[in-house]
Amino acid sequence: MSKPGPRAAAHEGGTPGQPSSRVALTVCIIAAAQLLLVLLFAWSSSRSTPHDLPFAVAGPKPAVDSLVQGLEQTQPGAFTVTKLADDAAARAAVTDRKAYGALSLSKTGATLYTAAAASPAVAQALTQSIPPALKQGLPQAVVTVTDLVPNPADDPHGASLPTALIPITLASVAAGAVIGLLAGTRRLRLAALAMYAVLTGTLSTLAIQTLVGGLTGSWLSNAAVITLAALAIASAATGLVAVAGPAGAVVSALVVFFVGFPFSGATTAWQLVPTPWGQLAQYLPVGATNTALRSVAFFDGAASAASLTVLALWGAVGLGLSLLTGRRLEPAG
């Protein structure tokens, strides 16, 4: 019987330990990345509490002042309260995304306006916290809760959008890295990024809005937001890979997903995320995508300009980096 050659022995782990070392190192890196991701998600969720949450109150001045004082006593620093003139202004504050909720006070009682589509977690928290605070100053007040912008009927808990952002983000980082590594010319990078972004926007909207029913509003507008988001994330990854090689893919994954997603407020609201991380995450693609898509899908685009600008800037910078370097593919032979 013939003895195994050197290559076979190396393949079986009998000679140099380099393959084994690489496997062990890869496993350790993956485990470390997993630990980091678990810590970031767990820490962000466990420290979730409202801070400077935009809230509006309308009604007679004594009653409004009493409510504001009660909120400060029960939840200091939790709300940034805007005092409004009347019920119409209170409703508009919610539907225009100037406040997550509003309380309209009258002689006979009070109406709490919420918008579950802006954040199911915040709407639930307001329903639980505002009536007790009101009763401190007005014990006899009866509070009626009205959801002005509810979640879609097919997705009453509003879970489909934050869940869908996970694969969209991961796939966009991966697509951008692959394009950066394999597309050797600037023209090919741009074409591949454009094709990926349009496909992602179209297919993701088809899945989330048409098949699942997790979005409302204009189909084309929602698809345009997701397209812009996919382009922003993928082009950033492509640009970093074009400049820094494979290390650029790691950096893009760390910034966009590992840091950007846990603090984005996609599953709650960024005002519930530990400070200052929630605010900073709004300048990253996931946080901006969540805000922009909710505004466009559920609020007719109200308060979407800033987040759309953030996505556009990420896309522009990513495309700019992608154009900095490039090589011409030469035919073999």
Average pLDDT over residues 41-48: 75
Sorting pLDDT into bands at 50, 70 and 90, what band is 16?
low
pLDDT exceeds 60 at position 15: no
Sorting pLDDT into bands at 50, 70 and 90, what band is 32?
confident
Q: Is 39 helix (H, G, I), strand (E, B) or coil?
A: helix
**179: closest CA among 193, 167, 168?**
193
In terms of residues, how long is the chain?
Answer: 333
For residue range 195-228, what is the model confidence (pLDDT) as tens digits? 999 999 999 999 999 999 999 999 999 999 999 9
For residue 98, the tally of other CB atoms under 10 A from its CB is 16
What mean pLDDT is reported for the chain? 89
For residue range 49-84, what is the model confidence (pLDDT) as tens digits? 888 999 999 998 888 888 888 888 878 888 999 999
Specify the pLDDT at position 5: 54
Per-position DSSP letters for 88-144, written without gaps between them: HHHHHHHHTTS-SEEEEE-SS-EEEEE-TTT-HHHHHHHHHHHHHHHHHH-TT--EE
Beta carbons of 250 and 331 less than 8 angstroms apart: no
Specify the pLDDT at position 40: 75
For residue range 240-252, what is the model confidence (pLDDT) as tens digits? 999 999 999 999 9
Beta carbons of 70 and 136 less than 8 angstroms apart: yes
For residue range 265-275, what is the model confidence (pLDDT) as tens digits? 998 999 999 88
Beta carbons of 303 and 295 less than 8 angstroms apart: yes
Find the range with the poorest average confidence among 16-30, 237-251, 308-322.
16-30
